[in-house]
Amino acid sequence: MRQLIEQQILPRVTKPIRYQGNEFNSVHKDWGKAQVRMAFAFPDLYEVGMSHLGLQILYGLVNDREDLLLERVFAPWTDMEDLLRRHNLPLFSLESYRPLRDFDILGFTLQYEMSFTNILNMLDLAGIPLRAAERSDSFPLVVGGGPCAYNPEPLADFFDFFVIGDAEEVLLEIMDTAKAFKQGPSGRIAKGDFLAEISRVRGIYVPKFYEVSYNASGGIEKIEPVNPRVPAKVVKRVVKDLNTAYFPTKPIVPFADTVHDRVMLEVLRGCTRTCRFCQAGMIYRPVRERDQETLLKQAKELVRNTGHEEISLTSLSTADYSCVQPLITSLMEEFKNEMVGISLPSLRVDAFSVDLAKEIQKVRKTGLTFAPEAGTQRLRDVINKGVTEENLMEAVAGAFAAGWTTIKLYFMIGLPTETKEDVAGIAELAYKVLKKGKEILKEQKSKKSLKVTVSVSSFVPKSHTPFQWVAQDPVVMLQEKQQYLKSLLKDRHITYNYHDARLSFLEAVFAKGDRKLGQVLETAWAKGCKFDSWSEYFKYETWLEAFRECGIDPEFYAYRRPGFEETFPWEHLHTGVSKKYLFEEYQKALQAELTKDCRLDRCPGCGVCGDLNVKLLLQRRGKGGAL
Amino acid sequence: MGRYRIEFGKESGARFLSHLELMKAFERALRRAGLPMAFSEGFNPRPKMSFASAVAVGVTSAREYLDLELREELEADQVLEKLRNTLPPGLSVVSCRKIPPKVPALMAEIEAAEYEARLKLTDKLTKAEIDDAIAKLLERDSIVVVKEGKKGPENKELKEGIYELRCTAVEEGWAHLLMRVKSGSRGNIRPEEVLKALQELALLSFEPELAVIHRTGLFVNRKGQLVSPMQ
Ligand code: SF4
């Protein structure tokens, strides 16, 4: 199959390197010797998927075991898909060019809702029946994990099971169990027995073992296990200590330019700043930091094994790492001769972060991005952003003084309680930043030109957050706000861009959706929806048609304001954060009351630490910089 | 300080690398090898590394060249050995030699390139018929093809740049060609352009998308002789 594809197909597609699979550090194992074979599927392009740290972690974890094998597959771009279909070729794994059907397990990572149609498309391209109930033992088990697995209900019909939480905790347990249930001369897994067994493992959710009943108004009456042996609530898996957790130091080095083409050094996991819209901040709790020695050692090995020219210190908020300053100093010292740069993917809105950026960007100066998220102090307090205008102005002043001339500001519209003033506040803030920049450039007698980019997304309520009780703004209202802002931002130094509100609407529908949405997904896919997050392929009208045909009202999911008592479709999936705490946070939001970060203040009792028997793991207490 | 000239091959899957990706793959291999690269000054320091010429995506090559500067002086064999272990599959170093600091940049020296091409014929043709078509093409006073330029389509004259073009064999519906063409900064002819001329002007019909092109050599001009840059 490889020969045929390399000679007849690859020369005809754009960027054939995406499908080449022979990158440095890729692992090519003896198919016959592996006892359980899994394909890790990323339902988007190679360039996007290869920038995902989780893939590299699981790839190393499994392939380090002699009896197991993990290969990769990405969504093929449409030209590749067309050729595969025309030649009647099934979707294949990159390493061994084997049809996905031949694997024991097919694992999808669920990173964003708008990749769901790509999952169906990939199954179809692989010749695998879409619905789990239609797949006999001769097809692979299909599993999903990642952030969207915290509400996988719209996908429940298509998957055999889901992993809730840190996958490096549980993946080997899954594969060992699969090994025990391989049987007969065909060597396929006895799925029924396997699922019965695995459903009792913590962090594993087998949707067919849970029954959902609906009430008269279309909401959920209850979600109950169908037999007493599976847990009523599936509790997430969590790595207690990142220092002892598996970390790959020989990641695959892609040839092609990927979205994040650099070494990813994960300095900490979790964030307890409690931005009330942020799902990651809730599902990845508690905060666990790696110690500096471990990080330095990993960084050295990573550079030696990959040859990358840049190390990105990744996490939800790296400037919060309690030892960030000494860490950066020692990394810079270590790599100064080899010209390895350091980067921070996300900056906090304060002067401290700008100082860090200054220090690490002595070599390469790229643009700076800050995320005040909302235009007025009141609204920033509603979302608990914990950032003041003063913080922002200090930060941008520092940045302009240090020679940066392009600054990007991230905002959201459609946040709960938002008024016209809040939207106008975004423009005001942008002009203040521009004015500050002009002043500083004038002082420096600099002739450089300034650029402020205002990037505005639409708020999407997500499961497991304080804002799960919030109704999303209707599409037309979001569009009006976008246009209003456009009318206010008329300056040649300001660039304004915003996301398609219709896409945000569908995102909300699926983020808060239930099992009834499975048929909508299938219908939309059958009508040609795929690569929805790529604007050239997004077919909104087709989506609406699909909803109509299935007799389902998407607005029910996105625009309704659920009560506290309402049973959510994800009620049986437990992150450790209590519903009571989330609701309290929602109430505080409506009062614009702040909640402080538990790293630096008292514990407000989200419940994770006690409930999951974990704790915050900080290298140094209370010195993470100014809050 | 040491300056080195390296001969390398780009085969199998690595043929799909673009020139930029190839440069990056080498930079990373050098860093993995722990070789003390010298860097350019300025805001965006790059390793001091220059390639002879860019080979098109999809084209394999047996002989490519690059010049490299190191901060320390090592033996050429050492450089070769270290790189051998760190290049990705598909890229391989053949030889390496030290070059004096004054040798001009590779890119400026290249004069010609040699290719083998395999064409999937759409008609049943014999070698004699193909020889005939080639002869007719080469007899023309002018061999012009249209290429996509920066400002839309442009005419390009190939006549003076085709040094050699012949059919070496026909096997199972595939024609094997050998061509030697002008290459480098003083005029560059791409093998695809010659194939286009064969298709359009000599009316040789084959499937252009499936053409397999392999570069067998790059040459510099030394006293009127075309020789390998390693000499
Ligand atoms: S339980 Fe308390 S300390 Fe632990 S993450 Fe939640 S708020 Fe922070």
Task: Decide whether any atom of ligand 1 lies within 6 Å of the A609 Cβ.
Answer: yes
A84 close to A125: Cβ distance less than 8 angstroms: yes
Residue A185: what pLDDT? 66
Q: Assign A365 a pLDDT band (cuts: 50, 70, 90).
A: low
For residue B24, the chain A residue with the least C-alpha distance is A255
Residue A627: what pLDDT? 35
For residue A403, list chain B residues with Cβ-Cβ distance below 8 A.
none
- What totals of helices (H) and strands (E) does chain A contain, helices first? 21, 21
Q: Is the predicted pLDDT of residue A368 greater than 90, yes or no?
A: no
**Strand-strand pairing, B212-222 and B60-70:** parallel
Q: Give the pLDDT confidence of A71-84 residue by residue, as tens digits.
A: 999 999 999 999 99
Question: Which residue, chain included where needed, has tokens 């946070």?
Answer: A585
Of residues A11, A255, A338, nearest to B58 (C-beta): A11
Q: Is the predicted pLDDT of residue A389 greater than 80, yes or no?
A: yes
- Ligand 1, atom 4, lies closest to the CA of A609
End-to-end CA, chain B: 22
Of residues B16, B31, B32, nearest to A20 (C-beta): B16
Residue A626: what pLDDT? 36
Interface test with A, best of B15, B20, B31 (most A CBs within 10 A): B31
Spatial separation of the C-alpha atoms in residues A312 and A344, rounded to whole Å: 6
Q: How many CB atoms lie within 10 A of CB A611?
A: 14
Residue A622: what pLDDT? 52
- Give the predicted TM-score (pTM) of the model: 0.94
Tokens encoding A256: 């092609």
Tokens encoding A95: 């390493």
Q: How far is A418 from chain B (nearest CA, A)?
A: 43
What b/e string do you get for B139-165 counting C-beta neighbours within 10 Å, with b at 16 or more? Answer: eeeebebeeeeeeeeeebebeebbbeb
- Are the beta carbons of B16 and A10 separated by less than 8 Å? yes
Backbone angles phi, psi at A61, to 5 degrees: -55, -50
Task: Decide whether any atom of ligand 1 lies within 6 Å of the A477 Cβ.
Answer: no
Q: Is the predicted pLDDT of residue A351 greater than 90, yes or no?
A: no
Q: Assign A362 a pLDDT band (cuts: 50, 70, 90).
A: low
Q: Give the pLDDT confidence of B44-77 residue by residue, as tens digits.
A: 788 999 999 888 899 999 999 999 999 999 999 9
Residue B107: what pLDDT? 86
Q: How far is B209 from chain A (nearest CA, A)?
A: 6
For residue A365, the chain B residue with the least C-alpha distance is B43
Q: How far is A100 from chain B (nearest CA, A)?
A: 21
DSSP A62: H
Question: Measured from the CA of A606, which atom of ligand 1 is nearest?
Answer: 6
Task: Decide whether any atom of ligand 1 lies within 6 Å of the A285 Cβ.
Answer: yes
Task: Decide whether any atom of ligand 1 lies within 6 Å of the A34 Cβ.
Answer: no
Backbone angles phi, psi at A273, to 5 degrees: -75, -15
Residue A514: what pLDDT? 97
Percent helix, strand and coil across chain B, each rounded to 5? 25, 40, 35
Q: Give the pLDDT confidence of B174-220 residue by residue, as tens digits.
A: 999 999 999 998 889 999 999 999 999 988 999 988 899 999 999 99
Question: Measured from the CA of A285, which atom of ligand 1 is nearest?
Answer: 5
Residue B139: what pLDDT? 94
